[in-house]
Amino acid sequence: MRVAILDDYLDTLRTLDCYRRLEGHDVTVFTDHTDDVDQLAGRLERTEALVLIRERTAIRAPLLERLPELQLISQRSVFPHIDVDTCTQLGIVVSSDLHAGSPSYAAAELTWGLVLSAMRKIPQQVTSMKAGGWQSAMGRSLVSKTLGVYGYGRIGRVVAAYGQAFGMQVVFWASDSSRERARADGYTVADSREAFFSTSDVLTLHLRLVDATRGIVERADLVRMKPDALLVNTSRAGLVAPGALVESLRDGRPGMAAVDVYEHEPVLDPSDPLLGMDNVVCTPHIGYVTRDEWEVQFADVFDQINALAAGAPINVVNPEVLDRARFRDGSSRR
């Protein structure tokens, strides 16, 4: 099949062991990013299988309608960036392994790295030494502090375990049903949303971004946080109301933030407000970007391509498309 891979910024996929699974396919890798529909349509005009790296590029109807050869979109995890209904109408299979029961340990590890970096002011200390200075700031310990975890999912539970290992008191907040599950599993749940935000020393977000959670963290929540508290977001920028984090940080509540996700990515403008704040640790959406994690993820993604090429697609999120999809036998999807 003619395969296109979008947004492989560091041209990493070709160096992975699992890339061998694409032997025999005609593969093109794009290492830059563009949202321009005309440019994407030109690049992908003859593409039969499109590989997405999570949500780096949105695939909507105006683009899909200009890709006459496309048979498959192959990726891993949730797919709010894909217009699945249009794919179904056009006979395009969407395959995405949702890896039920398997958390992204890489994302959980980065979350904890950001917690330690911000609380101990590690970036500031490194910058000071490189400039010829010595100790430049006083950090804070985690032991006996309260770790608030917003969301009772796979990654949130792993992060909670890290907090317990560091001697923190862990408290959860989530939807009604998720809070009940947390209680049933023996975890502490905050008495109220207000108490959750006001008592957490470190508060980390671990929610999926859907319509119900977009902007779920408002400025009113953030201003309840302690002036020395830390907000961590390695999930999705859209969970926080637009502008709320920058405004709240400028007002001193919370006192710090550590973020790996942004409303518009990639962030290439050094004048971005978050990048100019000394009390914010920023990383370029690398939560799931480790060689180990990608070997697992893209083995699945490439297997999905081979399955469709063999006429037996797997992990199909729009199974109703299968009656009209066009496979290698030449039957038409249009």
Whether 206 sits among the annotated catalytic residues: the reply is: no
Cα–Cα distance measured from residue 36 to residue 50, given in angstroms and rounded to the nearest whole number:
17
Tell me which residue of 218, 267, 224 sits closest to 243, measured CA to CA.
218
Q: Which residue has the tokens 């408002």?
A: 218
Alpha-carbon span 115 to 142, nearest angstrom: 9
For residues 47 and 26, give the distance between their C-alpha atoms in angstroms, rounded to a whole number: 10
In the DSSP assignment, the letter for residue 121 is T
Strands (E), 88-194: 93-97, 146-150, 169-173, 188-189
Find the catalytic residue in 154, 157, 236, 326.
236
Please report which helix (H) or strand (E) contains residue 251, including its range: helix 244-251
Q: How big is the chain by its Cα radius of gyration, in Å?
A: 22
Question: Within 10 A of 273 (CB to CB), how many other CB atoms are there?
Answer: 14
CB contact at 8 A, 80 and 106: no
Cα dihedral sign, 123-129-133-137: positive
* N-to-C CA span, the chain: 19
Active site residue 285: yes
Closest CA to 156 of 104, 192, 195: 104
Q: How far apart are alpha carbons 45 and 63 in whole angstroms?
A: 10
Q: Which residue is it, tokens 């911000």?
A: 118
Which pair of tokens denotes residue 248? 């709240």
Extract the tokens encoding 231: 């907000």
Out of 154, 206, 253, 285, which one is annotated catalytic? 285
Q: Does the annotation count 236 as an active-site position?
A: yes
Residues designated as active site: 236, 265, 285
